[in-house]
Amino acid sequence: MGEDEEESSWAKETTPKIIKIICSRNNPSLSQRDLYSLLLVSPSCYRALLSVPNLWETLDLREVNRAGEKLISALSLERYRNVKRINLEFARDVEDEHLVQVKSKAFESLQGLECLNLNGCQKISDKGVDAITSVCPEFRTFSIYWNVRITDLSIKHLVKNCKHITDLNLSGCKNLTDHGLSCIARCKNLVSLNLTWCVRITDVGVVAIAQGCRLLEFLSSFPTCRGSSEIEDEVGEASTSVGEALTRSGKRRRGSGDGLAGEGFDEDLHVGGGGRGD
């Protein structure tokens, strides 16, 4: 069988089966590496895969080397013009300048981005957060735990640029203060907030969150300096709807459960009975 005949056979018989298997369940087990490998199987498979937009809504660069360069390169491709989720969790070699370049080179591709994971990206600072949030108006989920470089300024940028945030993970961001929490309190759609190991926040910030975030279902915070009953009363006074549904649990455990080592005391506020961690 000649090369043209073999490709024709692939295009008619094998490629449709591959696409059907992938798309029938939107195959969550298919990794990005597997997807890239399938692109190399045959020209017909390459064309068919590129014709399915939802296969390219996620860009997964977690734990990879030279992630900043790869992010810029990937977002220059037509297939990622409608990317909705970018995962850079513990990716290496991603810095502020990469996010600044993404802002200038991939502005259109990021207009529909809903979820960004920068967990463990230690070289990202306020500058990088400002750059990326300024071109992502549709953010719903933003996670940047275990980062000691960002400050309240990052939160100010996030709240100013992204009006639809529902899920925010700032665990381990030790330079955040109550001022940052007062900015978060403007996020009217916020449902989940993780402030574990944000050691500079106080009860004042927690009360501000209760006053502003009336849809909040889950709040994990660093131990406050006063007793549980006292701050719970203040939260109840700040927001009747939140206070009535609020239960408070404190549990001592080794590690924070989100990539931070050490022994500490974590307090979770579960609002409405349906929050995570019940």
For the beta carbon of residue 129, count every other beta carbon within 10 angstroms.
Answer: 27
Place of tokens 């279902």: 217
Tell whether 212 and 256 lie within a shared domain. Answer: yes
User: Is residue 276 assigned to a domain?
Assistant: no
Sign of the dihedral defined by the CA atoms of residues 97, 98, 99, 105, in that order: positive
Lookup: tokens for 226: 């006063």
Tell whether 46 and 144 lie within a shared domain. Answer: no
Tell whether 210 and 248 lie within a shared domain. Answer: yes
pLDDT, one tens digit for every residue, the chain (278 residues): 556 666 677 777 787 877 777 776 555 557 778 888 888 888 888 888 898 898 999 999 999 999 999 999 999 999 999 999 999 999 999 999 999 999 999 999 999 999 999 999 999 999 999 999 999 999 999 999 999 999 999 999 999 999 999 999 999 999 999 999 999 999 999 999 999 999 999 989 999 999 999 999 999 886 544 445 555 566 656 555 444 434 443 433 333 334 333 333 344 554 443 444 44
User: Is residue 278 assigned to a domain?
Assistant: no
pLDDT score for 258 = 41
Name the β-bridge partners of 266: 251
pLDDT score for 276 = 42
Tell whether 30 and 74 lie within a shared domain. Answer: no
pLDDT score for 3 = 62
Tell whether 231 and 137 lie within a shared domain. Answer: yes
**What Å distances lie between residue 176 and 149, 195, 263, CA to CA?**
10, 9, 21
pLDDT score for 178 = 97
Tell whether 141 and 250 lie within a shared domain. Answer: yes
Going by C-beta distance under 8 Å and a sequence separation of 6 or more, which residues neighbour residue 32?
58, 59, 60
Tell whether 208 and 222 lie within a shared domain. Answer: yes
pLDDT score for 18 = 78
Tell whether 109 and 124 lie within a shared domain. Answer: yes
Q: How many domains does the chain have?
A: 2
Q: What's the number of CA atoms in the CB half-sphere (13 Å) around residue 246?
A: 27
User: Is residue 277 assigned to a domain?
Assistant: no
Tell whether 125 and 240 lie within a shared domain. Answer: yes
Tell whether 130 and 250 lie within a shared domain. Answer: yes
pLDDT score for 21 = 77
- Full residue range of the structural domain in which residue 42 is found: 1-56
E-strand spans in the chain? 58-60, 85-87, 115-117, 141-143, 167-169, 192-195, 218-221, 246-254, 263-271
pLDDT score for 216 = 93
What predicted TM-score, i.e. pTM, was given to this entire model?
A: 0.81
Tell whether 46 and 61 lie within a shared domain. Answer: no
Where among 13, 29, 56 does a domain terminate?
Answer: 56
Q: What is the dihedral of CA 152, 96, 108, 140, to 10 degrees?
A: -40
DSSP for 33-64, please give it.
Answer: HHHHHHHTT-HHHHHHHHT-GGGGSEEE-TT-
Phi and psi at 165, nearest 5°, equal -60, 130
pLDDT score for 230 = 53
